[in-house]
Chains A and B, each alone.
Chain A
């Protein structure tokens, strides 16, 4: 399907895949920023709880992005005619995704601890000190892994950007040359 010289199907999948990577990078950064207040036991409980709720929501979105990145990438390969198993740069990108999977499996049991503990405090738990210590320990344990994911997603995006090609027979990246020429005359 082509509109104004643009292959809509291919561009849609390329765009969605790229936007998912961009959102992933941004959301990881927001999670990092939010965690400072959440683990700060001196901050008001309601504020910490609100931030933990936001962080949990963002984490869920990031989890969907992470899981849908693989099928969307495979569909993108099919749409753009890129061989999945014999394209060198894609193999290295898949290896980076493999490391992200390991990282995600490491983060899985940590996720949700802060929200659970803060909810317990709000409900009147008596072991506040213990719950705060656990929040701080889990957050400090998770953040290097979050940064590793960020670095791996950034590296994978860089590999893609460096291997971008203008489609055959096209002078412009997004539109077919003939369409651009005919509209200019």
Chain B
């Protein structure tokens, strides 16, 4: 069970952190295509994982 917590926390927190950071970096023009792709991928993970993490919180 601990592994599930770690999985969804990493995906959601890491997703928002990296996705947000890369989105900002792309917006500022500091990084190119890789930043844009990372922003989409990691924010996607965070959005995908958020309801699962919330469900884990509710169950506990």
Q: What is the CA–CA distance of A95 and B18 in the complex, to the nearest angstrom?
A: 11
Interface SS, B side: helix
Interface size of A by CB at 8 A reads: 17
Q: What is the CA–CA distance of A84 and B42 in the complex, to the nearest angstrom?
A: 14
* B residues 1-54 in Cβ contact with A at 8 Å: 3, 6-7, 10-11, 14, 17-18, 21-22, 24-25, 30-31, 34-35, 37-38, 41-42, 45
Interface SS, A side: helix
Given contacts A98-B42, A101-B45, 19 further A-B contacts (CB under 8 A): A63-B7, A64-B6, A67-B7, A70-B10, A71-B10, A84-B18, A85-B22, A85-B24, A86-B25, A86-B30, A88-B34, A91-B22, A91-B34, A91-B35, A91-B38, A92-B34, A94-B22, A94-B42, A98-B38
**Chain A residues within CB distance 8 Å of chain B:** 60, 63-64, 67, 70-71, 74, 84-86, 88, 91-92, 94-95, 98, 101
